[in-house]
Amino acid sequence: MTKKLGFIGLGIMGKPMALNLLKAGHTVTVFDLNEEAIQALQKAGAKGAVSAADAASESDIIITMLPKGEHVEAVVSGDHGILTTAKPGTIVVDMSSISPVTSRALAALTKQHQVEFIDAPVSGGEPKAIDGTLAIMAGGEEAIFEQVKDVLLAMGTEVVLVGTNGSGTTAKLANQIIVNLNIAAMSEALVLAAKSGIAIDKMYEAIRGGLAGSAVLDAKVPLILERNFEPGGRIDINLKDLTNVMETAHDIGVPLPLSSQLLEIFHALKADGKSGLDHGGIVQYYEKMAHVEVKKG
């Protein structure tokens, strides 16, 4: 069924996600601070909006895909935000990676305005955003989730309601621990092998079918061997996610020693001017210490 959607945030992930909603036949009104991003979506058939409030006034479901929690808060409750024009019964689906505390606070706030809220962050990076195969983890009321599930399935193949509001963003924090620590472990192994002088591409071929094989290994090793660090998931965004991980963990009394070490590695990469790289660039932290470069051959 065609639905009237608003989409706010047309960055690396948001732009292809909005395009997939258009391909699915939905009416999509888009807004971003980048005028060129809006124009690109308009060429694909979207309507352009001049503010989040403008997008919300046209829509029954409003999707936000933004870098940080403060951006989501501003878009939802700011002077030109969603709540200034959203009709009662409107559903806000926040697909950003933010703190569960912020998600629950936004859910409570929107409820006061008779607007529903689902937190539904994603995993899979730019490639899966483009081909519409994202993993989507949602938090909210089941009845509300069912109203937006078909929309989410236009952007992802695995769409799971994890629990109440904040559950989706909590699941995303767990996801980010696993993904980024996998990349770090992989980076250590690659640098060890490179310093030993063996052919990394052959090593990858040898181990990828065993227990060390993973989606992370297959996604990142070919790019590293080509020295391609164009961002699918930027280091600064993952730094933000791991900061949320540690704050949440400390709030509930969960020690995360490996995650805390990786957060410091991210800070070191940022200080080294590498915050705009893909998080596969974690390998460059280890390369710098070992004075070696991981590449083919």
CATH superfamily of 171-290: N-(1-d-carboxylethyl)-l-norvaline Dehydrogenase; domain 2 (1.10.1040.10)
Chain length of the chain: 297
**Contact 62/55 with Cβ under 8 angstroms?**
yes
Cα–Cα dist 248/99, whole Å: 8
The answer, yes or no, to whether residue 55 has pLDDT greater than 80, is yes
What are the tens digits of pLDDT across the range 107-143? Answer: 999 999 999 999 999 998 899 999 999 999 999 999 9
Q: How confident is the model at residue 41 (pLDDT cuts 50, 70, 90)?
A: very high
- What mean pLDDT do residues 269-294 have? 97
Q: What is the mean pLDDT of the chain?
A: 96
> Within its chain, how far is the Cα of 142 from the centroid?
22
Instruction: Give the DSSP letter of residue 119.
Output: E
What are the tens digits of pLDDT across the range 78-94? Answer: 999 999 999 999 999 99
The closest alpha carbon to 230, from 10, 12, 42, belongs to: 12
Q: In this structure, what token pair is assigned to residue 21?
A: 């909603």
Name residues whose C-beta falls within 8 Å of residue 61's C-beta, 6 or more positions apart in sequence.
3, 4, 5, 6, 90, 91, 92, 93, 147, 148, 151
Q: How confident is the model at residue 217 (pLDDT cuts 50, 70, 90)?
A: very high
What are the tens digits of pLDDT across the range 226-248? Answer: 999 998 889 999 999 999 999 99
Among 1-5, 20-24, 83-87, 281-285, where is mean pLDDT lowest?
1-5
pTM confidence score: 0.91
Q: What is the helix (H) or strand (E) element at residue 48, kind and residue range?
A: strand 47-48
**Looking at the DSSP assignment, which residues form a beta bridge with residue 28?**
5
Q: For CATH 1.10.1040.10, list the domain ranges present in the chain.
A: 171-290
**Contact 37/15 with Cβ under 8 angstroms?**
yes
**Contact 30/55 with Cβ under 8 angstroms?**
yes
What are the tens digits of pLDDT across the range 162-211? Answer: 999 999 999 999 999 999 999 999 999 999 999 999 999 999 999 999 99
**Contact 19/129 with Cβ under 8 angstroms?**
no
- What mean pLDDT do residues 291-296 have? 94
* Residues labelled catalytic: 172
The answer, yes or no, to whether residue 1 has pLDDT greater than 90, is no
Strand-strand pairing, 134-139 and 122-123: antiparallel
- In this prediction, residue 53 carries a pLDDT of 96
The answer, yes or no, to whether residue 297 has pLDDT greater than 80, is no
Q: How confident is the model at residue 296 (pLDDT cuts 50, 70, 90)?
A: confident
Q: Quick one: CATH architecture of 4-164? A: 3-Layer(aba) Sandwich (3.40)
